[in-house]
Homo-oligomer: A and B are copies of this chain.
């Protein structure tokens, strides 16, 4: 019989919608076939897979991969799936995953040439989008610093479109210590701010983006805290050619990260 919303394992997994329970268990939920596939590609990440009979049939390759890794694969009713999922059209699959974050030093030991630091970004959709963009631009690590959103928040996981499982995710309480660590590892630390002294195009023209670089991004509402912009090697503004007062966070991050990717080719 498929599990129902009252089956204890479903009840336990469902609690992972709350940050407190994610922190206590070191687990989070990934929903939908794309996220489940990416999670299964990373050995040791998935601990359990739930699916409706229809979804386990439709995505039989994923069910087989999970079973082949000796993971419990459980049929659930549509009601149980709806309880486990946060979206209206969850496509029938939800995986319980282990937290993935690594200490900053471990991430830096792998010598990333591009790093994105999300400093105090509270919006999970924005954070997940920047994580996805950083992955696309070739970043090796993404640091959630200060009081940034929990990277395992369901909306962040979904916005990352699988990239949460591709890059080294770091969580660090003290963003200034992160800047020190990045610089000690040989990375140039660039703070993005609308009022920066350096124009992104000028930095590019001067060849300063070719070096290994860490970009600091702040929240759209509050920007970067002053201590972080001061701690960076340079304060960079994306040029505004029209009348817009600013770019939104996802767009600014895309322009900066891709400027680095191009300069580093």
**Measured between alpha carbons, how far is A162 from B240 in the docked complex, in Å?**
14
Pick the interface stretch among A22-30, A134-142, A226-234.
A134-142
Residues of the B chain whose Cβ atoms lie less than 8 Å from the Cβ of A241? 136-138, 261
A254 at the interface (CB under 8 A from B): yes
Contact A132/B163 with A241-B137, A261-B239 known, Cβ cut-off 8 Å: no
- The answer for the CA separation of A247 and B133 in the assembled complex, in Å, is 6
Q: How many angstroms from the CA of A195 to the CA of B220 in the assembled complex?
A: 32
Interface contact B201-A265, CB-CB below 8 Å: yes
Nearest CB in chain B: distance from A97 CB, A: 17
Assuming the contacts A241-B137, A261-B241, asked whether A247 and B251 have C-beta atoms less than 8 A apart, the reply is no
B247 touches A254 (CB 8 A): yes
B254 touches A139 (CB 8 A): no
Q: Which residues of B contact A242 (CB under 8 A)?
A: 134-139, 163, 166-167
Does chain B have a CB within 8 A of A262? yes
In the complex, residue of chain B having the shortest beta-carbon distance to the beta carbon of A250: B250
Report the Cα distance A261→B129, complex, angstroms: 23
A106 at interface, CB cutoff 8 A: no
Q: What are the residues of chain B within 8 A of A251 when measuring CB–CB? A: 129, 132-133, 136, 250-251, 253-254
Given A241-B261, A242-B166, A242-B167, the answer on whether A136 and B247 have CB atoms closer than 8 Å is yes
| Contact count band on A | 35 or more
Whether A132 pairs with B254 at a CB distance below 8 angstroms is: no
How long is the Cα–Cα vector from A159 to B125 in the complex, in angstroms? 14
In the complex, the answer to whether A135 meets B166 with C-beta atoms within 8 Å is no
CB–CB B201/A244 < 8 A: no
**Cβ contact of A246, chosen from B134, B161, B204, cutoff 8 A:** B161
Contact A166 B243 (CB under 8 A): yes
Query: When chains A and B are docked, how far (Å) is the Cα of A204 from the Cα of B159?
Result: 29
The interface bits of chain A over 8-39 (1 if a CB of B lies within 8 angstroms of the residue's CB, else 0) are 00000000000000000000000000100000
The 3 tightest CB contacts between A and B, nearest first, are A138-B241, A251-B254, A136-B244
Interchain residue pairs with CB less than 8 A apart (24): A34-B245, A129-B250, A132-B244, A132-B247, A132-B248, A132-B251, A133-B244, A135-B242, A135-B243, A135-B244, A136-B251, A161-B245, A161-B246, A162-B243, A162-B245, A166-B242, A166-B244, A167-B242, A238-B258, A239-B261, A251-B251, A251-B253, A254-B254, A258-B258
**Interface residues of A, Cβ cutoff 8 Å to B:** 34, 129, 132-139, 159, 161-163, 166-167, 201, 204, 238-248, 250-255, 258, 261-262, 265
